[in-house]
């Protein structure tokens, strides 16, 4: 699954995003408004500010009375409503002598009419004939509109700023948009993925093509009495392409497509999630027919009753609103809901019933044919060498999903670029498979010789048991170069085909292969190390599942004893441990059966390695020198020590050959040492 490399960007040749341009223009308007308000305030302050020397009214009167201020040093005296101003030189003197006049002012705020009359009498020289009158004039009275215009403009500007801020705060994802849906409306030009870009899951594509066709030509189905599915649920492991299928539907449908996550509904405020559900359906109804896609539906649709008593949990109220909108009293059938989850077992039964999610589409791991198709789609983005065999790569990647294969192609391209290759080679793909499965190679890590030899012996024990026992996967490579987290070496097995079922003998052989490393250490060094911890854990877990889940214990019978419920699509997580439903005697019997299976597998591995001790020693020595050994080289070493005809690995003849070639001393040593080592 991949985007087609030949499609132009959805937003034009230059890849411009109109949403980003709108945001930039909105930010520019915001800055313009802020600067306008600040500038207006500064201008208003400056215009109303008083320039020159300030003097109190009483001081002005005293100096006039004492003739310190008179008609020879007071010019252009102007009395206004709020202040009185003058200058010490006349305008003619300033112009003639090119000098600067000093201005002064007296604030008249709060001065009454009586005081103003006294001031005018003082300036007129009344009451004192020795003083010359000082000429003055009244300031022109401005019109009321001239006085109100700045304040009105400032008020309107502030109101505009407040409205603009409220609109920005009220947008999607903001702190004030509590009850608004966070669903994003995708236009046709915003989605570049179509069904042609989806590979490896043909059955799921066909199911969704029918939904798209119904939206385009509903009369074709309605004429026969059929109705459109109200909901489509995509289930499957992570990375299989559920979200990409939804994108393809958005690109093909030709109708409005709302996309959001299940966690977008849940908030800490009670009732917000339900309001968002109603708002989302209302928006979709206004643009109907429409599609609503909810990714990670399990965040919203978990089984009710697990919250607080009384059903007042916010998530439950949100789920109730979704149930009513999908199939309630006033339901609109022109809105289709698509959901995606990898935990369908946690969803509420009312959400899963027909009438809400009518159609459940399984998006499973691709088979070998599907992996080849996915690799072909992703490989269109890179320059591949002619030696790349896509069919062989699909065999080397069992269990890989679309995301894993996309990562593999990218890793191969990066490795080829690091090596200076002009094209991506098959060797780069094989190295990429190892990197994805085993982790990053740590070739610079220094390991002492003794530890390195022990690791070589351990990994060769795994490989030799896997090559000798029946019903095992072929060995692909052995390495003692550290990889990943704490792995000092690894033995890589790759199945030849996809396995849907595993038999009891196959599981027993897998446990024996896991215990081949610790068996080799016991044989060569007569003691074991901590390097087998992961092998023991995996072997014990597999044996316990054989007893408790698969009914492969003759002693306990064909019953299911497991006390944990795990997700069918999630590995390593999603496990719910229930209270024990078994008696102490039954639990003890389970432990004894698990121990028996592990002991028998260890004894089987021990016998094989004791019978091929010379092969084990030579393989360990050569792996110590080479650090990485291919399956072809391993088979050459094994053939050097084979007296009879060559036996195909993984067949029953291989085990027969190992049993016949074991001498009496080896068998006796295995019978004496195997149980003790297994206990340790």
Q: List strand residue ranges (DSSP E) for 8-159, in order.
A: 53-54, 75-79, 83-87, 103-107, 136-138
CB distance 288 to 321 below 8 Å:
no
Partner residues linked to 261 by β-bridges: 295
Name the nearest CA neighbour of 464 among 508, 519, 502.
Answer: 519
- Residues 603 and 28: their CA atoms lie apart, in Å, by 77
What tokens were used for 408? 């593999």
239 is known to lie in a ligand binding site: yes
Neighbouring residues of 96: CB distance < 8 A, sequence distance ≥ 6: none
301 is known to lie in a ligand binding site: no
Q: List strand residue ranges (DSSP E) for 448-575, in order.
A: 475-479, 490-493, 564-565
Name the nearest CA neighbour of 542 among 512, 522, 569, 518.
Answer: 512
CB distance 214 to 228 below 8 Å:
yes
Q: List strand residue ranges (DSSP E) for 146-244, in order.
A: 184-186, 231-235
- Residues 411 and 503: their CA atoms lie apart, in Å, by 35
- Residues 492 and 473: their CA atoms lie apart, in Å, by 10
- Residues 380 and 378: their CA atoms lie apart, in Å, by 5
CB distance 475 to 493 below 8 Å:
yes
**CA-CA distances (angstroms) from residue 635 to 22, 109, 453, 506, 630?**
66, 108, 20, 22, 9
How many Cβ atoms sit within 10 Å of the Cβ of residue 533?
Answer: 11
Q: Quickly tell me which residue has 């290759």 as its tokens.
A: 421
241 is known to lie in a ligand binding site: yes
Please tell me which residue in 325, 411, 459, 607 is annotated as part of the active site.
Answer: 459
- Residues 369 and 196: their CA atoms lie apart, in Å, by 17
Active site residue 459: yes
- Residues 479 and 459: their CA atoms lie apart, in Å, by 8
How many Cβ atoms sit within 10 Å of the Cβ of residue 317?
Answer: 20
CB distance 273 to 395 below 8 Å:
no
Q: List strand residue ranges (DSSP E) for 371-460, in order.
A: none
160 is known to lie in a ligand binding site: no
What tokens were used for 602? 């260890």
Distance of CA 201 to the CA centre of its chain: 23
641 is known to lie in a ligand binding site: no
For 345, which DSSP code? G
Judge if the upstream peptide bond of residue 596 is cis by omega within 30 degrees of 0.
no
310 is known to lie in a ligand binding site: no
Annotate 562-603 with three-state secondary structure: CCEECCCCCCCCCCEECCCCCCHHHHHHHHHHHHHHHHHHHH
- Residues 119 and 628: their CA atoms lie apart, in Å, by 109
386 is known to lie in a ligand binding site: no
What tokens were used for 318? 């949100």
240 is known to lie in a ligand binding site: yes
289 is known to lie in a ligand binding site: no
Neighbouring residues of 37: CB distance < 8 A, sequence distance ≥ 6: 154, 157, 158, 161
Annotated binding site for Zn(2+): 458, 462, 535
Known binding-site residues for ATP equal: 236-243
Q: Which residues are annotated as a binding site?
A: 236-243, 458, 462, 535
Residues acting as catalytic residues: 459
């Amino acid at each position: 699954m991949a985007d087609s490399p030949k499609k132009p960007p959805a937003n034009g040749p230059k890849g411009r995003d109109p949403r980003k341009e709108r945001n930039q223009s909105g930010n520019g308007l915001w800055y313009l408004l802020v600067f306008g308000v600040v500038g207006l305030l500064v201008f208003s302050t400056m215009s109303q500010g008083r320039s020159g020397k300030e003097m109190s009214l009483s001081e002005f009167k005293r100096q006039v009375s004492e003739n310190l201020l008179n008609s020879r040093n007071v010019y252009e005296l102007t009395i206004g409503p709020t202040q009185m101003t003058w200058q010490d030189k006349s305008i003619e003197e300033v112009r003639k002598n090119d000098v600067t006049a000093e201005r002064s002012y007296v604030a008249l705020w709060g001065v009454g009419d009586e005081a103003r009359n006294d001031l005018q009498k003082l300036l007129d020289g009344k009451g004192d004939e020795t003083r010359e009158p000082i000429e003055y004039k009244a300031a022109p009275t401005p019109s009321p509109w001239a006085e109100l215009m700045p304040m009105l403009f400032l008020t309107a500007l502030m109101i505009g700023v407040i409205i603009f801020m409220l609109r920005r705060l009220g947008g999607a994802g903001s702190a004030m948009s509590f009850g608004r849906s966070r669903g994003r409306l995708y236009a046709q030009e915003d989605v570049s993925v179509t069904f042609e870009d989806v590979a490896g899951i043909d059955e799921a594509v066909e199911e969704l093509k029918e939904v798209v066709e119904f939206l385009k030509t509903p009369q074709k189905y309605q004429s026969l009495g059929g109705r459109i599915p109200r909901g489509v649920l995509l289930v499957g492991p992570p990375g299989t392409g559920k979200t990409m299928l939804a994108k393809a539907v958005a690109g093909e449908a030709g109708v409005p497509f709302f996309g959001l996550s299940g966690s977008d509904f849940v908030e800490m405020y009670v009732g917000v999630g339900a309001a968002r559900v109603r708002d989302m359906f209302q928006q979709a109804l206004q643009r109907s027919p429409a599609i609503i896609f909810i990714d990670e539906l399990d965040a919203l649709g978990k089984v009710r009753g697990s919250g607080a008593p009384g059903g007042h949990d916010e998530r439950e109220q949100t789920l109730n609103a979704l149930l009513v909108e999908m199939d309630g009293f006033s339901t609109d059938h022109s809105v289709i809901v698509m959901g995606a989850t990898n935990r369908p077992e946690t969803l509420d039964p009312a959400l899963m019933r027909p009438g809400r999610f009518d159609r459940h589409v399984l998006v499973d791991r691709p088979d070998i044919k599907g992996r080849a198709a996915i690799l072909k789609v992703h490989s269109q983005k890179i320059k591949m060498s002619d030696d790349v065999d896509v069919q062989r790569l699909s065999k080397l990647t069992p269990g890989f999903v679309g995301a894993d294969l996309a990562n593999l192609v990218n890793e191969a391209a990066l490795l080829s670029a690091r090596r200076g290759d002009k094209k991506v080679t098959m060797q780069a793909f094989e190295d990429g498979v190892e990197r994805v499965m085993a982790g990053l190679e740590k070739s610079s890590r220094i390991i002492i010789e003794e530890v390195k030899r022990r690791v070589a012996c351990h990994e060769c024990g795994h490989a030799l048991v896997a090559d000798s026992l029946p019903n095992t996967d072929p060995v692909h490579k052995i390495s003692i170069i550290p990889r990943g987290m704490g792995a000092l070496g690894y033995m890589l097995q790759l199945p030849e085909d996809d396995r849907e079922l595993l038999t009891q003998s196959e599981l027993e052989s897998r446990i024996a292969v896991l215990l081949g490393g610790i068996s080799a250490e016991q044989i060569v060094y007569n003691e074991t190390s901590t390097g087998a911890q992961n092998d023991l854990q995996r072997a014990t877990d597999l044996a316990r599942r054989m007893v408790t889940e698969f009914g492969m214990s003759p002693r306990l019978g064909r019953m299911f004893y497991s006390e944990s419920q795990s997700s069918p699509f999630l590995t390593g997580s999603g496990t719910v441990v229930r209270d024990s439903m078994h008696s102490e005697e039954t639990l003890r019997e389970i432990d004894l059966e698990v121990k028996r299976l592990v002991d028998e597998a260890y004894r089987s591995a021990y016998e094989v390695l004791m019978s091929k001790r010379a092969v084990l020693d030579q393989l360990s020595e050569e792996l110590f020198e080479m650090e990485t050994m291919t399956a072809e080289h391993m088979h050459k070493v094994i053939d050097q020590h084979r007296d009879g005809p060559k036996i195909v690995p993984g067949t029953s003849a291989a085990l027969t050959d190992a049993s016949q070639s074991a001498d009496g001393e080896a068998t006796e040593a295995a019978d004496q040492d195997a149980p003790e080592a297994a206990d340790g």
